[in-house]
Structures are given as C-alpha cells and as structure tokens.
C-alpha cells in the first residue's frame, strides 16, 4: 500500500455493527493498527463514515485527523481545516417528528448529528416499514436528503456525500498522486465506491455479496483487520 491513499468506514468495516450507535467503543488493537497505517502512508489515511466527527474521535481515540463525517457532509482535512454546511432549516421539524415516532418503543433511537438526523430501528424492527414511510414523507415535505442505511433512515442537509469527500481529500497536497482505496459495508458507501473507481482506485465491499460498485470483497470486520495488518 506504499502509494495508496486509504479510506475506511467504521461501522461494519473497522467495528462490528452494534445494536445502538453508542455501543461502539475504542479498541486498542484497532487504534494501534490505524496509527501504524497512518505513519506508513505518511498521513494518507482518512475515515469516511456516517458518524459525527465527535463520535469518530471518541471511538478512534483522536488518532485520525482526516475524517469525512455525517456521510461526507462534514470534512476535516489534515491541517485541521473543517468543512461543514449550515444545517438545513427543515431539520428541526424532522427531529421533532422522529422523536414523536420514537416514543412508540424504547428500541427506536433518534440520533441528532447537527447537519442530519437518523432514526434507528434495529432494536424495534416491527416498526421498520413505518419508519421508512415517515422518512420518505419528511424528505418530501422538508427538502432534506433521504439517506437509506442498515436498519436506519437518515435525513441530511443537502450537500457532499462520501464520494465527494473522498475526491476532496484526493485534491489536497497530502493525498495528491496516490491511488485511492476505500473499504465500506453499507449502501451509504456506494457513492464512495463509485468515485474511487472513477479515480482509478480500488473499492472493497465488506459483508455478503450484493450488487455494488465495489470490485473486491471481504467477509467481515475480522477479515478487514487481517488485511490491514498484513498491508505493507
């Protein structure tokens, strides 16, 4: 990977999917590995995730500076420069509606992310269809962007997606000239896969085979860790 620029998702890629977003915690093995990769790649390592920037820093113990958070809406460059949109005016309405809906069951979790809001129903799957209907309706009524995920529906401020942030990183001096490699697991990563392939890089789908823009695949988080630990 000497000439690569490495982009990694967190949930389902660097960490197993948890029932609740807050259930993913720092891990010493993962932290050591990311530090070694960052040094070996001379800083050409970025995390590209749906999580907030604060959550990334919590889980990765502040070791990774380059982060595209909230599915690419928020980007922090190697020099600390922060690119962040003003939250869409329709967000408060969506937040209120999701909280009302979540009052039906303690397994429904609303995650407010500043520029977006997500409704998780992994612990209340009987409400999945209704949650999706609600999200579609709110997107139509507010102008927010609907982001489908694994047992989650998210409404985002319009703006950059994961592929846009990867392209943004690749245009910075620290990443220019490298070949991008991106590993992710969810439908939310497809925009990133497509952009990496367009840039002449390599994309890796983590998890069961499905229709995807990714050219390569790994079975699970443990395979990702083994692949990265073997990288030179």
Contact 204, 214 (CB under 8 A): yes
The model's pLDDT over 33-73, given as tens digits with 9 standing for 90+, comes to 999 999 999 999 999 999 999 999 999 999 999 999 999 99
pLDDT at residue 231, rounded to an integer: 85
The model's pLDDT over 164-223, given as tens digits with 9 standing for 90+, comes to 999 999 999 999 999 999 999 999 999 999 999 999 999 999 999 999 999 999 999 999
- 23 is a catalytic site residue: no
Q: What's the mean pLDDT when you consider all of the chain?
A: 96
- 95 and 149 in a common domain: yes
For the chain, what is the domain count? 2
Q: Residue 225: pLDDT band by 50, 70, 90 thresholds? A: very high
Give me the helix-helix angle, 128-142 and 91-102, nearest 10°: 160
- 109 and 128 in a common domain: yes
pLDDT of residue 232 exceeding 90: no
The model's pLDDT over 68-125, given as tens digits with 9 standing for 90+, comes to 999 999 999 999 999 999 999 999 999 999 999 999 999 999 999 999 999 999 999 9
- 135 and 47 in a common domain: no
- 184 and 79 in a common domain: yes
Give me the helix-helix angle, 221-230 and 28-40, nearest 10°: 40
Query: Model's pTM, two decimal places?
Result: 0.95
Domain enclosing residue 41, as ranges: 4-84+159-230
- Of the candidates 9, 77, 185, 189, the residue annotated as catalytic is 9
pLDDT at residue 177, rounded to an integer: 93
- 103 and 31 in a common domain: no
- 181 and 136 in a common domain: no
Q: Summarize the confidence of residues 150-163 as an average pLDDT.
A: 96
| Residues ≥6 apart with Cβ < 8 Å to 54 | none
Any idea how long the chain is?
Answer: 232
Rounded CA-CA distance 59/227 in Å is: 21
pLDDT at residue 2, rounded to an integer: 60
- 67 and 54 in a common domain: yes
Rounded CA-CA distance 110/41 in Å is: 37
Rounded CA-CA distance 220/208 in Å is: 8
pLDDT of residue 1 exceeding 90: no
Share of the chain above pLDDT 70, in %: 99
What is the secondary structure of the chain as a DSSP string?
Answer: -TTEEEEE-SBTTTB---SSGGG----HHHHHHHHHHHHHTTT-EEEE-SS-HHHHHHHTTT----EEEGGGTEEE-TT--EE-PPPPTTHHHHHHHHHHHHTT-TT-EEEE-SSEEEEE-TT-GGGHHHHHHHHHHHHHHH-PEEEEETTEEEEE-SS--HHHHHHHHHTSTTTTTSEEEEEE-SGGGHHHHHHHHHTT-EEEEESS--S-S-SEEESSHHHHHHHHHH--
- 72 and 15 in a common domain: yes
Residue carrying structure tokens 């490298």: 178
């Amino acid at each position: 990977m000497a000439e690569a620029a490495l982009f990694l998702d967190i949930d389902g890629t660097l960490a197993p999917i948890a029932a609740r977003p807050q259930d993913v915690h720092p891990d010493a093995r993962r932290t050591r590995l990311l530090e070694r990769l960052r040094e070996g790649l001379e800083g050409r390592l970025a995390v590209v995730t749906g999580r907030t920037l604060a959550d990334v820093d919590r889980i990765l113990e502040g070791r990774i500076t380059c982060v595209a958070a909230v599915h690419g809406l928020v980007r922090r460059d190697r020099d600390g420069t922060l690119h962040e949109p003003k939250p869409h005016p329709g967000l408060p309405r969506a937040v209120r509606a999701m909280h009302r809906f979540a009052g039906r069951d303690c397994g429904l979790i609303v995650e407010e992310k500043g520029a977006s809001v997500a409704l998780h129903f992994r612990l209340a799957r009987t409400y999945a269809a209704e949650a999706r209907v609600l999200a579609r309706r709110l997107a139509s009524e507010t102008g927010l962007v609907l982001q489908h995920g694994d047992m989650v529906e998210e409404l985002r401020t319009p703006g950059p997606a994961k592929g846009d942030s990867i392209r943004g990183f690749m245009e910075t001096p620290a990443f220019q000239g490298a070949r991008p490699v991106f590993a992710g697991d969810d439908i939310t990563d497809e925009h990133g896969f497509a952009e990496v392939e367009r840039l002449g890089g390599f994309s890796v789908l983590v998890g069961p085979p499905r229709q995807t823009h990714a050219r390569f695949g790994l079975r699970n988080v443990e395979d990702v860790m083994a692949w990265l630990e073997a990288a030179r």
